[in-house]
Structure 1
Amino acid sequence: MRLKQGSLLWYLYLDKSYCLLSVRNVKALVEYFHLLDVHGKNTLNDVLFYHFLHHVTDLKKRQINLVFDMLDWSAVGEIGFEQFYVLVCILLAHQNHLEEQFMYRHSRTVFDLLDLKGDLRIGPKNFEMYRFLFNIQKQELKDLFRDFDITGDHRLNYQEFKLYTIVRINKLQKRQKKTEENAERERSLCSRKCRIK
């Protein structure tokens, strides 16, 4: 999944630490939401939602419908600004390769979104349906349920899911540190070579 260049979302800035929008960006997003809300009900129905996501992403119709169902918490056929804001943050996190940070910082929100039945557990089927939003590969999904399903019921409760997000962010930070160390090593090697010449 990717954002289409030139859409409003392309110009919004997502803070890398907290995975939230600035106040200025939220204000712009509120105005954009009101422009999309042609019925003046402070909500978007499934048709408006589809056209919005089709315009700003390369998601397929099936994926857009899945996302709408996930965000329509009360099953009324409409989403409000709160759900719209969460979606935009997810899209921007995905675009900026901040999926791990987003899941870590907003683990309760992500858990609640994936808990479609409201029984405080996430099954592999739910995760499989929405893994495209968080850039989770199939093998990683299998490993997730093998390594973090402590209760053994083939579903994750919130504590197990939170543990997963912590481990995932730690792995990311180790990779980033190793990359930075390798880059520093290459810079120092290059500067030594330049001095020798």
Structure 2
Amino acid sequence: MKVKEASFLWYLYLDKIYCLLSARNVKALLEYFHLLDVHHQNTLNDVLFYHFLSYVTNLKSRQIRMVFDMLDYNAVGEIGFEEFYLLVCILLSHQNNLEEQFMYCHSRHVFRLLDINGEQRIGPTNFRMYRFLFNIRKEHLKEFFYGFGLTDERRLNYKEFKIYTIFANDKLKEKQRRETEKQERRKKFKSQIKNTVYQVAVIRRFWNKKIGR
């Protein structure tokens, strides 16, 4: 899933620590929401919601309907600004590769969204259904279930899900740390090569001058 370049959401900034919008961005988003709300009901129905997501993302029709049903957990056929704001933060976290951080910071909201049947439990099926939205990594899920002795039939309560978000976020930070170290090694190696080439060039010039004498 991607946020389309040059769309309104493209210009919003998501805080990388708390995964929230600034007050100025929230105000701009509220004005945008009112523009979308052509019926002036302070809500978006499924048709308006569909056209909005079709315009700002590359989600497929089936995925858009799934997202609407997920946000419309009361089954009233429309969503308000609170759900709209949450969705925008999810989209921006996905766009900025902050999905694990978002799930960690807002675990309660994410758990409520994934708990589509309101049973206070979520299983692998829930993860698979909305994997495209939260970019839930299969290897993390499998490793987590295996590490805690959980089976595919076992469903997580909120406390267990919170532990999963900590686990996934730690995995992400470890990956980022390794990537940073890798880049530093590359820079160091390139610098060493550059210095070696320079030294060889100096030696050649010195040797050529000596032979020329």
State TM-score, norm by structure 2.
0.86
8 Å Cα contact 2:114-2:127 kept in structure 1: yes
Deviation at 1:141, TM superposition (A): 4.0
Which SS does the other structure have where 1:65 is aligned? Answer: helix
**CA–CA distance in 2 between the matches of 1:23 and 1:94?**
21
Q: Larger deviation: 130-139 or 95-104? A: 130-139
**Gap change, CA 1:139 and 1:173, over 3 Å in 2:** closer
Q: Distance in 2 between matches of 1:145 and 1:70?
A: 24
Match of 2:15 in 1: 15
- 1:194, CA displacement in angstroms? 2.9
Range 151-160 or range 68-77, more displaced: 151-160
Structure 1 Cα separation of the partners of residues 176 and 100 of structure 2: 12
Letter in 1 for 2:35: L
- Alpha-carbon offset, residue 90 of structure 1: 0.4
Give the structure 2 partner of residue 45 of structure 1: 45
CA contact (8 A) 2:123 2:152 kept: no
Q: Which has the larger radius of gyration?
A: 2
The answer for unaligned runs of 5 or more in structure 1 is: none
Matched residues in 2 for 1:20 and 1:107: separation? 13
What is the DSSP-based 3-state SS (H/G/I as helix, E as strand, rest coil) of the residue aligned with 1:4?
coil
State the alpha-carbon separation in 1 of the partners of residues 114 and 146 from structure 2: 18
User: Which residues of structure 2 form unaligned runs of 5+?
Assistant: 199-213
In the alignment, the residues of structure 2 paired with residue 142 and residue 188 of structure 1 have an alpha-carbon distance, to the nearest angstrom, of: 36
TM-score for both structures, normalised by structure 1: 0.92
**Deviation sequence 1:111-163 (CA, Å, 0-9, x none):** 01111121110122222111100112445444444445759861111111111
Paired residues of 1:120 and 1:157 also in contact (CA < 8 A): yes
Q: Residue 51 of structure 1 aligns to a residue in which SS?
A: helix
Percentage of identical aligned residues: 65
DSSP-derived class of the 1:18 partner: coil
Quote how far apart the aligned CAs of 1:5 are.
1.2
Cα distance in 1 between the residues matched to 2:149 and 2:127 = 13
The Cα of 1:195 is off from its aligned counterpart by 3.1
Give the CA RMSD over aligned residues: 1.8
Task: Look up the match of 1:193.
Answer: 193
Is the 1:3–1:56 Cα contact (8 Å) retained in structure 2? yes
Q: What is the DSSP-based 3-state SS (H/G/I as helix, E as strand, rest coil) of the residue aligned with 1:122? A: coil
How do 1:24-173 residues align onto structure 2 when only pairs under 5 Å count?
24-148=24-148, 150=150, 154-173=154-173
Q: Which residue of 1 aligns with 2:203?
A: none
Instruction: Tell me by how many angstroms 1:178 deviates.
Output: 1.5
How far 1:6 sits from its partner (Å)? 1.4
Q: Determine if contact 1:12/1:25 at 8 Å carries over to the other structure.
A: yes
